[in-house]
Chains A and B, each alone.
Chain A
Amino acid sequence: MNENQPNFESLRRLLALKRHETPPPGYFNNFSSQVMARIRAGETEMADGWSGRLLASMPWLLSALQAVETRPVFAGGFATALCALLLFGAVIAQRPDSASTAFLQPVATPEAASFASVTPAAQSTSVLPANQFMVADNSTNPVFSSFQPVAASFGQIPVGAQFVNYSGSGN
């Protein structure tokens, strides 16, 4: 043995003292049965719960969860990616992006052009108060015979309505 090497023999004999630290007598008699009971309980819980059924139907999800559990770097990476995604979404939402405003611009189609050629007067007549709606000429309602504005549902009788008299008239 090299003279420069420290001699750990005494230390090794002292460490052997650790071998005498044992659990209470009979401890290992029930150890495996406790482990088995916990495994059975876990299997029952897995089979009964919705999460268990979900994991049973998707084994890759269980593998992914186990990977996250055993390797914290996966969990960290996933959390970082999620944060980056949220940050990206927030930045995109707050920026006056040309792509999003272009969606609101008029489209240069023939129909759009015809709408654009309507005079301001015509436009103003076609605008109705918010509490009125239009009834079309082709309506089957006999009362409203023309395309005209009608008051809203409550508060007043429509202008074009006719009262019906049910009383007998001389016959």
Chain B
Amino acid sequence: MIMAEPVARNDSEPSAPADEDVLVRRARTGDLGAYDELVQRYQERIYATVYHMTSNHEDANDLAQESFIKAFQALKSFKGGSSFYTWLYRIAVNKTINFLKQRKNRIHMSLNDLDFNAEHDPDLVALISDKTPRREADLTELQEKLNEALMKLSEPHRLVVVLHDVQGLSHDEIAKVMNCNIGTVRSRLFYARQQLQAWLSDYLKPT
């Protein structure tokens, strides 16, 4: 099977400043100020990942907070074999997947409105412009359909799409977060995109 090779997105990988190691070492000794800085550094990314997996802000809030708390409690077991943010991502992802498995039957969509910038995003404007088969589709409807399609995917496939196409992580980083090899990441990404493309064909501009 020939798989699509996405464009390398190394520029979007989270950077790890040199002082991160210092902050982690201080946090391991119980320095809450240092850990506070680490939380502020990664809170948006962790929150966004959890949110895109759950499609619920309340659940995302709880899970993101619990992930940071668990990470703090487990800091002593952090050996530094991977970067801190990869390790943190792994905790958040595992927690989220466990949560989704426990509440498999409870699917609710309580999505917030899109932010103001969405209406001015050139890509999105083009997406719902003249060439879109369903011109009447507005952003909200598009958002709902997109989230419905995402929630149809299995957790591992959804996670790969969220981490790569939404969060912008590279295949290598995703493999570390999901504790699998890069081939598995690519294969899951390809399959998930195929599924999404089939489900959202009415809303996608023909190429």
Q: A16-B124, A23-B47, A39-B69 are in contact. Are A11 and B114 (CB under 8 A)?
A: no
**Does the CB pair A8–B193 fall under 8 Å?**
yes
**Does the CB pair A20–B114 fall under 8 Å?**
yes
Bound: A35/B204 CA distance, A: 40
**Does the CB pair B121–A20 fall under 8 Å?**
yes
Bound: A36/B165 CA distance, A: 31
Q: A23-B112, A35-B69 are in contact. Are A18 and B166 (CB under 8 A)?
A: yes
Minimum Cβ distance to chain B for residue A77 (Å): 18
Bound: A5/B94 CA distance, A: 32
**Does the CB pair B40–A32 fall under 8 Å?**
yes
Interface size on A, residues (CB 8 A): 36
**Does the CB pair B165–A31 fall under 8 Å?**
no
A7 interface residue, CB < 8 Å from B? yes
**Does the CB pair A21–B72 fall under 8 Å?**
no
Bound: A58/B59 CA distance, A: 33
Contacting residues, chain B, for A138 (C-beta < 8 A): none
Q: Provide the main secondary structure of the chain A interface.
A: helix
**Does the CB pair B112–A21 fall under 8 Å?**
yes
Contacting residues, chain B, for A11 (C-beta < 8 A): 165, 193, 196-197, 200, 204
**Does the CB pair B161–A15 fall under 8 Å?**
yes
**Does the CB pair A70–B94 fall under 8 Å?**
yes
Which of A20, A21, A32, A66 has a CB less than 8 Å from the CB of B39? A32
Q: Which bracket fits the contact residues of B?
A: 35 or more
Contacting residues, chain B, for A6 (C-beta < 8 A): 4, 193-194, 197
Binding stretch for chain A, among B13-21, B79-87, B138-146: B138-146
**Does the CB pair A5–B4 fall under 8 Å?**
yes
Contacting residues, chain B, for A38 (C-beta < 8 A): 65, 69
A106 interface residue, CB < 8 Å from B? no
**Does the CB pair B72–A17 fall under 8 Å?**
no
Which of A15, A32, A39 has a CB less than 8 Å from the CB of B43? A32
| A1-37 contact mask (Cβ, 8 Å, vs B): 1 or 0 | 0101111111111111111111110001001111110
**Does the CB pair A21–B143 fall under 8 Å?**
yes
Minimum Cβ distance to chain A for residue B37 (Å): 9
Q: A14-B204, A15-B165, A20-B114 are in contact. Are A31 and B146 (CB under 8 A)?
A: no
**Listed residue (A9, A21, A33, A63) with the most chain B CB atoms within 10 angstroms of its CB:** A21
Known: A6-B194, A18-B146, A38-B69. 13 other contacts (CB 8 A): A5-B2, A8-B197, A9-B207, A10-B207, A11-B197, A18-B52, A20-B114, A20-B118, A20-B121, A21-B111, A22-B115, A31-B47, A35-B69
Spell out A's residues near B (CB within 8 Å): 2, 4-24, 28, 31-36, 38-40, 42, 63, 66, 70
Spell out B's residues near A (CB within 8 Å): 2-6, 32, 35-36, 39-40, 43-44, 47-48, 51-52, 57, 60-61, 64-65, 68-69, 72-74, 77, 94, 111-112, 114-115, 117-118, 121, 123-124, 126-127, 139, 142-143, 146, 161-162, 165-166, 193-194, 196-197, 200, 203-207
